[in-house]
Chains A and B, each alone.
Chain A
Amino acid sequence: MKVTLKVWRQKSASDKGKIETYQLAEVSEHMSFLEMMDVLNEQLITEGKIPVAFDHDCREGICGSCSMHINGEPHGPDRGVTTCQLHMRMFKDGDTIYIEPFRAKGFPVIKDLVVDRSAFDRIQHAGGFISVPTSGNTQDANSIPIPKADADKAFDAATCIGCGACVAACKNASAMLFVSAKVSQFSLLPQGKIEAKRRVLQMVEQMDKEGFGNCSNTGACEAECPKGISLENIARMNREYLKASASSSE
């Protein structure tokens, strides 16, 4: 099939950037979206042009590298997938496809479709951990039983791959789903409860510093999340935050 691509091209962080139009004549419906981008790049290279830069790595939906905003939605029109798992059968012959980087003040563009998501790392540095030495001399893994329901919920929160689709989808570019997933994972486990207050206060503070917007509970993040992280996590973080700020001595 044939597609027309409208791709955001931006030489560097300081460049203004604009949409460029490309035609692809032979696209197989079995291709993944990124394989279609490979074909585009191969074509650009043979034409002596600069290929489109985009982040990608595992191409099986788990590393969270790919970060394309396709036809107005992060990771494109399919649900529960990352861009690398999106297949061209979701599109029709003759379609025009807009491809832009994830956009947020907290995710500045580096080049073309590549954005800097290190804000997520910095939020994690602020408290996304349990302070336990890596000595291995911790207590036996089975010494604290954890109710299966809590363990499952913690796992569901922990499935976040940190791709940033939540921020990209949110009309406010809010990072609440990402941050709340991490806060939830730890606050649900007995091991994480000890530092829960400090963690939530510090992570929210860092999130705000990075310039992400407020959560207005539109639910776009949950709908677009390739891993289906639930809004429940945001509610849980709000609770944790309230508890922590009401009782914190700082």
Chain B
Amino acid sequence: MSKSGLLKSTVARKVAMALSAFFLMFFLLQHLIINMTSVFSAGIFNELSHFMGANFIVQYLLQPVLIFGVVFHFVMGFILEIRNRGARDVRYVKYNGGASATWMSRNMIWSGLVILAFMGLHFYDFWIPELKVKFIEGDWTGALTKGGEPIRYFDHLTHKFVNPIRIAIYCISFVFLSLHLLHGFNSAFQSVGANNKYTKGLQKFGVAYAVLVPAGFIFIALFHHFNH
């Protein structure tokens, strides 16, 4: 690696941003797949959830990487945004950005911030209770009940999707995630230098990913909201 340090140059930072994005997009996909099982079978969903929540490798190797990835992605996002704003110290009186670039591409910081805020809610809803059960109460069985009723994983999930306001926030957040991905998916490939004869096809795949993955999450939320 060059002594200038990989993360010092604008190009390298964008590459790092893209690599973290790839990781997060992969994570998102597996998250969706596991969640989707909740639509078909509470049992499978609970089993998979328990595995993810209790497995040593997932918990102590992958989870820290994930946390690092998330934090890195948004911290780097801010760093890039600060430089970008500084790169035009005097603003245009009239700037018609929409004439040459999509709304999504010009507003990654805003769609990103909505997603970040959503993650706060998401952690509050699911991750913090998880931590509480596992680390404070010390129950690693995944079989906790309350008044005889199971309250973990599937039941926790359906319980959370009762409140229509929460559902609305979820849906809006996923729309923003979709907007973020509509630019981000292909942008990440471009940043790592992949622009070739496959790009056209990849772009279509990117649009499909960016629409279907958030739509999947929305579907799951709505499904449980209306079925339980």
A binding-site residues for B, Cβ under 8 Å: 6, 8, 19, 69, 71-73, 77, 98, 100, 103-106, 109, 169, 171-174, 176, 201, 204-205, 207-208, 211-220, 223-224, 231-232, 234-242, 244-246, 248, 250
Contact = CB atoms under 8 A, between A and B. Distances in A.
Contacts of A250: 2-4
Interface string B177-209: 000000100110011111110000000000000
Contact of B10 (A98, A104, A207, A231): A207
Contacts of A239: 192-193
B84 A71 contact: no
A88 to B, nearest CB: 18
B175 interface: no
A30 to B, nearest CB: 24
Q: How large is the interface on B (under 10, 10 to 19, 20 to 34, 35 or more residues)?
A: 35 or more
A95 B191 CA distance: 40
Nearest to A16: B90
Contacts of B147: none
Nearest to A98: B94
Contacts of B196: 232, 235
Nearest to B3: A250
Contact of B12 (A174, A216, A241): A241
A214 B13 contact: yes
B10 A214 contact: yes
B104 to A, nearest CB: 9
Interface string B65-93: 00000000000000010011011111111
B102 interface: yes
Contacts of A205: 4, 9
B153 to A, nearest CB: 38
Contacts of B2: 201, 244-245, 248, 250
Interface in B1-17: 1-4, 6, 8-15
Contacts of A219: 100-102, 105
A235 B197 CA distance: 13
B87 A106 contact: yes
A242 B96 CA distance: 33
B8 to A, nearest CB: 8
Given A205-B4, A232-B195, A242-B15, 13 more contacts: A8-B93, A72-B95, A72-B96, A104-B87, A105-B87, A105-B89, A171-B101, A172-B83, A173-B87, A173-B88, A211-B86, A216-B84, A223-B99
B108 interface: yes
B117 to A, nearest CB: 21
B94 A216 contact: no
A113 B8 CA distance: 33
B97 interface: yes
A223 B101 contact: yes
A98 B95 CA distance: 10
Contacts of A207: 10
A56 B101 CA distance: 27
